[in-house]
Amino acid sequence: MKEFFVGSELLDILEKVEAGERLSREDGIRLMKSNELLLLGYMADIVRKRKNGDYAYFIVNRHINHTNVCENLCKLCAFGKKPDDPEAYTMSLDEIEARALECRDLNISEIHIVGGLNPELPLSYFEEMLRRVRRALPGVVIQAFTAVEIDYLARRENLSIREVLERLMAAGLDSLPGGGAEIFSPRVREKICERKISGERWLEVHRTAHQLGMRTNATMLYGHIETPEERVDHLLKLRELQDETGGFLAFIPLAFHPKNTGLESLNLSRTTGFDDLRVLAVARLLLDNFDHIKAFWIMIGPKLAQVSLAFGVDDIDGTVVEERITHAAGADTGQCLTRAQLVNMIKAAGRIPAERDTLYNIIREGS
Amino acid sequence: MVNRGKTDWERALAAAVAGKRLGLEEGVALFHCPDLTLLGQAASIVRRRFHPEKVVTFIIDRNINYTNVCICRCRFCAFYRDPDHPEAYVLSQEEIFQKIEETIAAGGTQILMQGGLHPDLPFEFYLDLLREIKKRYNIHIHSFSAPEIYHFSRISGLSIEEVLHRLKDAGLDSIPGGGAEILDNRVRHAISPRKISWEQWMEVMTTAHRLGMKTTATMMFGSLETVEERVLHLLRIREVQDETGGFTAFIPWTFQPGNTELEEQFAGVDSGGFDYLRTLAISRLLLDNIPNIQASWVTQGAKMAQVSLAFGANDFGSTMLEENVVRATGVCYRVPMAEIIRCIKDAGYRPAQRDTYYRIIRYFD
């Protein structure tokens, strides 16, 4: 019933989408600037259906943020603290192990560990952490440490990225999360995270991980000072690397939350519902070589996350307990959705709920 | 267009877009449309017919809940208190005047006074309140939902028409559409057994319309009703609107189970964003004689309210300087006027403050 969209300015792109053609940078920019939200969703839904049928995925997982001490102290972040800050914390290996043991009977399939760049923590801390978590949670996938943390460890220990990744893998690391990508544009990084690794370096870490056989995720932090063009270029860099390695599992846009960050003074507002759905839909359209687009309900709220299933999304993340980073920046979402709530959300949107593992193998279907 | 081979929802959707009036079965078929964006697009086409200009309106007003004492004790409500409850209250005229002054200072044009069905306050209390307000302030009084009007009739022994006459003479300008819940007695019996029947709700509305007063209509969905009952609700409103033309707007919102008697039964069953947008769009498609459809940021939050502008809504509702009833369920969204304006602009529309009759007061460019 695409005749409902007669008169739209994007019909040439709709034709390309229907034909399965790759979209250009110019197409991407037009999409990213468009207010034709429903047509964006309609097009993204075509691609989503093609790739994932009626399945909508979620994962039962837990997050651990082992330290908030961070040398980078990016302006975009409300989580990182100086070592002498009264709110600074670093979890001991025993604490982390205890936290992992608490998850033992929860039937989780993935544990997600990320933290700040803490100069006190040597590579051996991370190796031991992985060994203990692996022991505490046999069979659970450990998805840990962003490219930024991997790079930091390499520099701290005078090792190559490859060597660091190999040692962490030997200790139990399965997969890298997609954090730290922000926006690849150097102009933006200079203003929101000037001490963070470059976009090229981020891509290099993921390329190396893929070469070592690891699957990883990719993200984009949007809704601060980036332009539509910079968003599109970010997506195209990811598409390029995915063409080369095929190692990315999912793309996860992250809505910027300004509260308590170094960018609060810019008086940036939270992202709107239109923008959240637009970014998800355009990502689905441009990233034709990514299997999965994930909406992080912690960031955009459960209601909009459910709606995003009609805008290209096939994954609504997981049952997260104790997420600190987004909440430090003023996210007012809860800390947890139960499995039953996620299943109900997906069913009510007309999709088949599929509890997945990290590699999108279906663990349990339907209920 | 040849419709053979199409599913029921496809036929219904095409018919609505072609400007045809839909019936009960077609309305129900729309709830089976799996494609949310198509529903939204169809609703947007219909909405454009009512509002070809790219404007989204809102009103500056305040909800004033003069009492939380209520003998109706609906199972879906978290706001009411029994008369002897320590948290029971009745606002004094002075407190109400204070709230009105704050509303006027914020650029407000309307107050929405609603309260529980208080067993002891006489009808004269309300008449006196209206007169005293009108004596002091130039403000539109959009107040007293149908269950309150019915209650006034009971305590005064006067007919609905006489009650409305006297309220109007005392200063009442228009009536809000609350208390409609689902306009079908099976559901009402289950969620609000002591509340007026759907026929009585409609009687108040038609009488008000006959007396020249405008009203809105609402629907609270996502509790125990079926999809058929939602459609029936919409058709009953449409039928009366054909007769009277007195409804200015339709406002659907979702049941919020927190702190209500139904909380346990509904634990973890949030009527989600999908159902909200779908129902909003279907309302736009079925209510072919009601000009305005409001988004409900109070129950959905600013992001969803903005997205609802793509699903048939042309009005962002009210700035609601104060709101207590939804908040009692633990759902607390705050959306200041600046945020309403930003959401409207960001969606590609021109924001405008309106009055109760949807006349534009000023644009925000």
Among the residues of chain B, which ranges form H helices? 8-17, 24-30, 36-50, 93-105, 123-136, 146-156, 160-170, 185-191, 198-210, 227-244, 273-286, 297-307, 337-346
In a domain, B353, yes or no: yes
In a domain, B256, yes or no: yes
Q: What is the pLDDT of residues A101-142, one digit of tens each?
A: 998 888 899 999 999 999 999 999 999 999 999 999 999 999
Cα separation of A345 and A351, whole Å?
9
Q: What is the pLDDT of residues A77-105, one digit of tens each?
A: 889 999 999 999 999 999 999 999 998 88
Residues of B in contact with A276 (CB under 8 A): 303
Section A303-329 average pLDDT: 81
CB contact under 8 A, B272 and A348: yes
Mean pLDDT, chain A, integer = 93
Section B125-136 average pLDDT: 98
| Closest CA–CA distance from residue B271 to any residue of chain A (Å) | 8
Q: Is the pLDDT of residue A326 over 80?
A: no
Residues of A in contact with B44 (CB under 8 A): 38
Single-letter amino acid code for the residue at B230: R
Do A237 and A199 contact (CB within 8 A), yes or no?
Answer: yes
The three-state secondary structure class of B176 is: coil
Q: What is the CATH number of the domain that holds A256?
A: 3.20.20.70
As given in the structure block, the two tokens for residue B53 are 């200009």
In a domain, B9, yes or no: no
Section A192-214 average pLDDT: 97
Q: What is the pLDDT of residues A150-185, one digit of tens each?
A: 999 999 999 999 999 999 999 999 999 999 999 999
Section B49-78 average pLDDT: 94
Do B316 and B58 contact (CB within 8 A), yes or no?
Answer: yes
As given in the structure block, the two tokens for residue B264 are 């346990």
Q: For the packed helices A199-211 and A147-157, what is the interaxial angle rounded to 10 degrees?
A: 90
Q: Is the pLDDT of residue A338 over 90?
A: no
Least confident piece of the model among A127-136, B60-69, B262-271: B262-271
Q: State the pLDDT confidence band at B270, using cuts at 50, 70 and 90.
A: low
Provide the pLDDT for residue A269: 79
DSSP A208-236: HHHHTT-EEEEEEEESSS--HHHHHHHHH
Cα separation of B27 and B34, whole Å?
14
Split into its structural domains, chain A has a count of 1
Q: Is the pLDDT of residue B15 over 50?
A: yes
In a domain, B10, yes or no: no
Strand order in the sheet with B174-175: B174-175, B214-221, B247-254, B292-293
DSSP letter at B18 equals T
Q: What is the CATH number of the domain that holds B320?
A: 3.20.20.70
Q: Is the pLDDT of residue B71 over 80?
A: yes
Q: What is the pLDDT of residues B306-355, one digit of tens each?
A: 999 999 999 999 988 877 777 777 777 778 899 999 999 999 999 999 99
B269 has a chain A CB within 8 A of its CB: yes
CB pairs < 8 Å spanning A and B:
113
Cα separation of A298 and A303, whole Å?
11
CB contact under 8 A, A303 and B268: no
Residues of B in contact with A274 (CB under 8 A): 306-307, 310, 343, 346-347
CB contact under 8 A, B310 and A37: yes
Q: What is the pLDDT of residues B92-129, one digit of tens each?
A: 999 999 999 999 999 999 999 999 999 999 999 999 99
Q: What is the pLDDT of residues A24-46, one digit of tens each?
A: 999 999 999 999 999 999 999 99
CB contact under 8 A, B37 and A39: yes
Cα separation of B138 and B110, whole Å?
9
CB contact under 8 A, A38 and B44: yes
Question: What's the domain range around A67?
Answer: 2-365
Section A186-196 average pLDDT: 95
Q: Which of A325 and B135 is assigned the larger pLDDT?
A: B135
Q: Is the pLDDT of residue B1 over 50?
A: no
- Other beta carbons within 10 angstroms of residue A6's beta carbon come to 8
| Closest CA–CA distance from residue A99 to any residue of chain B (Å) | 26
B275 has a chain A CB within 8 A of its CB: yes
Q: Check the CA dihedral B237-B242-B246-B247 and report its sign.
A: positive
Q: Burial code of B160-174, b = ≥16 C-beta within 10 A, e = fewer?
A: beebbebbbebbbbb
CB contact under 8 A, A1 and B301: no
Provide the pLDDT for residue B314: 98
CB contact under 8 A, B343 and A272: yes
Residues of A in contact with B277 (CB under 8 A): 307
Q: What is the pLDDT of residues A199-209, one digit of tens each?
A: 999 999 999 99
Do A240 and A198 contact (CB within 8 A), yes or no?
Answer: no
Query: Among residues 23-62 of chain B, which lie with CB inside 8 Å of chain A?
Result: 34-38, 40-42, 44-45
CB contact under 8 A, B304 and A304: yes
Partner residue opposite A272 with nearest CB, options B14, B269, B306: B306
Helix (H) or strand (E) holding B109: none
Q: What is the pLDDT of residues B198-257, one digit of tens each?
A: 999 999 999 999 999 999 999 999 999 999 999 999 999 999 999 999 999 999 999 888
Least confident piece of the model among A65-69, A321-325, B164-168: A321-325
Residues of A in contact with B269 (CB under 8 A): 344
Bridge-based pairing of strands A141-144 and A110-113 is parallel
Exposed, middle or buried: residue B153 (CB in 10 Å: 0-12, 13-18, 19+)?
A: buried
With a pLDDT cut of 90, the percent of chain B lying above it is 86
ipTM, 2 decimals?
0.91
CB contact under 8 A, A1 and B275: no
Q: What is the pLDDT of residues B170-194, one digit of tens each?
A: 999 999 999 999 999 999 999 999 9
Spatial CA neighbour of B178 closest among B93, B271, B76, B257: B76
Question: What's the domain range around B339?
Answer: 45-363
Split into its structural domains, chain B has a count of 1
Partner residue opposite A277 with nearest CB, options B269, B300, B307: B307
